[in-house]
Structure 1
Amino acid sequence: MQDSIKACLDCHSMCLRMATTFCLEQGGRHVEPKHLRLMLNCAELCQTSANFMLSDSPLHGRVCLICAEACEACAKSCEQVGDMRECVEECQSCAKSCRAMT
């Protein structure tokens, strides 16, 4: 579980940082509302999943499943937008880790 918590916290940090700095500075496709919302939603779900696991909530598996779906969608969006390889890899890693928790 500790590995999944770390993956979620790392992904939360990456998505939030990339959305609020890199994407805003790049403009264009990087700031399209659908993409930016997805990145912020992913960051929030990662934080929430980490919190559920840290508190040993019996619902953590269900929250992790939703988190994995958000991470997969975010990775796909970041890949399509381009120049976001680090974020793609972080989201894919978190999705894999969260799926293992379900």
Structure 2
Amino acid sequence: MNAVPKEMQLCVDACLRCYQSCLGSAMNHCLERGGAHVAPPHFRLMMACAEMCRTAAHFMLTGVPQHRHVCADCASICRQCADSCDGLDGMDRCAADCRSCADACERMAA
């Protein structure tokens, strides 16, 4: 079995952490808070971010060269999600995880 390079593994970890943070926040905090937390643009963005992060991790773990394209898109979506979370109370951890993932994915996309 080929080992995943260290920088890629750090990105996989960041993606999976962001996936867990976005999905968990959406399904728990956002649904419980209601209001702007479940406004369709924000909630859809959180779901897209979670899925994109999961997909980016999957692409890196399978070792396909297209992971660079997926990581670039993931970084963009994560930044948008972080910006959306910034405007809502209780979303600091999710926003931070999104930015961390975006940073890691940008390095993988380069």
Alignment of 1:50 onto 2:74: no
- Once residues 35 and 101 of structure 1 are traced to their aligned partners in structure 2, the CA distance between those partners, rounded to angstroms, is 26
- Deviation sequence 1:36-91 (CA, Å, 0-9, x none): 00000000000000000000111000000000000000000000123210001000
Q: Tell me which residue corresponds to 2:104.
A: 97
Alignment of 1:7 onto 2:9: no
TM-score (norm 2): 0.91
- Once residues 90 and 18 of structure 1 are traced to their aligned partners in structure 2, the CA distance between those partners, rounded to angstroms, is 11
TM-score (norm 1): 0.98
Of 59, 62, 65, 2:69 maps to 62
Question: Gapped runs of 5+ residues in structure 2?
Answer: 1-7
Q: Secondary structure at the match of 2:93?
A: helix
Larger Rg: 2
Q: Tell me which residue corresponds to 1:25.
A: 32
* Structure 1 consecutive aligned stretches of length 4 or more whose deviation exceeds 3 Å: none
Percent identity, please: 48
